[in-house]
Amino acid sequence: MILEIKVPSPGESITQVQIASWLVGDGDFVEKNTEIAEIESDKATLAISAPESGVISITNKEGDTVAVGQVIATLNSDSERPLGVETAPKVQTITPIETAAKSLPISPLAKKIITENQVDVAALSDTFQGTRISTKEVVSFLSKKDEKQAVKQDREGVTRIKMSPLRQKLAERLVAVKLNTAMLTTFNEVNMKEILNLKAKYNEAFKSKYGYSLSFVSFFAKAAAIAMSEFPVVNAMIEGDEIVYHEFVDINIAVSSPKGLITPLIRDVHTKSVPELELTIKEMGAKAAKNRIALDDLALGTFTITNGGVFGSMMSTPIINPPQSAILGMHNILQRPMAVNGLVEILPMMYIALSYDHRLIDGRESVGFIVRLIKLLEQPIESGLTTYADFDTFLS
């Protein structure tokens, strides 16, 4: 039986997607439920699996923009798994590259390209550690001549690459913020000494149990949720001529993915402890790195946090994630001389920025919110941001 493989709907209002990569080759025999392709919408990258076992025939190439419901391949389910050659014995030479590739999560077509082009498998593994490697990742290791075949060139030194749906949507949203909001930004600074002390106390235990170090975002997310209980307008948004207040705090955390900037959602931040938030944020980050963020993970929250400090940013103006009314920007921690009780001390300081929609949030609320946030972060135990018991219980 010939089965049609159609583009599934990635979500409401999405009519077109881009074929990000084929994970199998044309004419390959694939097993039922094997991931055969990745499609990219303006929200996320999703995988398509084989409905049955059989031989696949691909009709659209990588990079094509296709409609939801369009047939992009067919599958002959009557085909049987090819049997090995049983005629005269043949000595097969397996190269070191093929041997190394077998131990990595690499698609069949990608393995073929790796072998043909003598790609450095060790370097490939280091670059895309923890992710399934498809043909797109392998292409970045090929020669400039091979790379230029996939793009348009006007003249020597000028290259054109089609924007992905995710990048196009991001561009539209950023321009819309400038046009449709009265965005202002207030800056302040926070002494991170006590947070660093907490990290030093529990970091090794956390890393031993969960495999990674504590970050700062979980502390900021919890502090924002507490501060919003006193300044609820920061957690509100405008819909038409109404102000919508929320009794819950759902925070989008801006993270980088191979496809660009995305904002996975952490729900009910106000009910979670700092270590619980840390685990949830790390899990989302791991999914984003593997392009396995689900649409539900990208739902709109009530507030957004972005951390430019991981890239070394000292100060920036974050852009609101509409229709939210505010976004908090974290930055790099630098040792700076500060005046404390008439004496100069060297302290780990971070500049923070709150961008907000001035149509809804006034200066009193924006500054009051960020001052409360600072107190929570500078006195995490005394202010009730977290407790030693939170960590001890979570790590026991």
Sequence-distant (6+) residues with CB within 8 A of 305 are 217, 220, 221, 224, 251, 252, 253, 254, 327, 328, 329, 330
Q: Are 215 and 278 in contact (CB under 8 A)?
A: yes
| Lateral strand order in the sheet of 29-30 | 2-6, 71-76, 54-58, 29-30
The catalytically annotated residue of 28, 358, 390, 392 is: 358
Per the annotation, the verdict on 297 as an active-site residue is: no
Residues 6+ apart with CB under 8 A from 129: none
Q: Are 338 and 347 in contact (CB under 8 A)?
A: yes
Tell me, yes or no, if 392 is annotated catalytic: no
Strand 35-40 and strand 65-67: pairing? Answer: unpaired
Question: How many other CB atoms are there within 10 angstroms of residue 39's CB atom?
Answer: 21
Nearest to 14, CA basis, from 52, 70, 62: 70
Alpha carbon distance 314, 368 (integer Å): 23
CA angle in degrees (0–180, nearest 5) for 231-237-239: 150
Q: Residue 41: name the closest of 79, 11, 80 by CA.
A: 11
Out of 270, 362, 390, 392, pick the active-site residue: 362
Active site residues: 358, 362
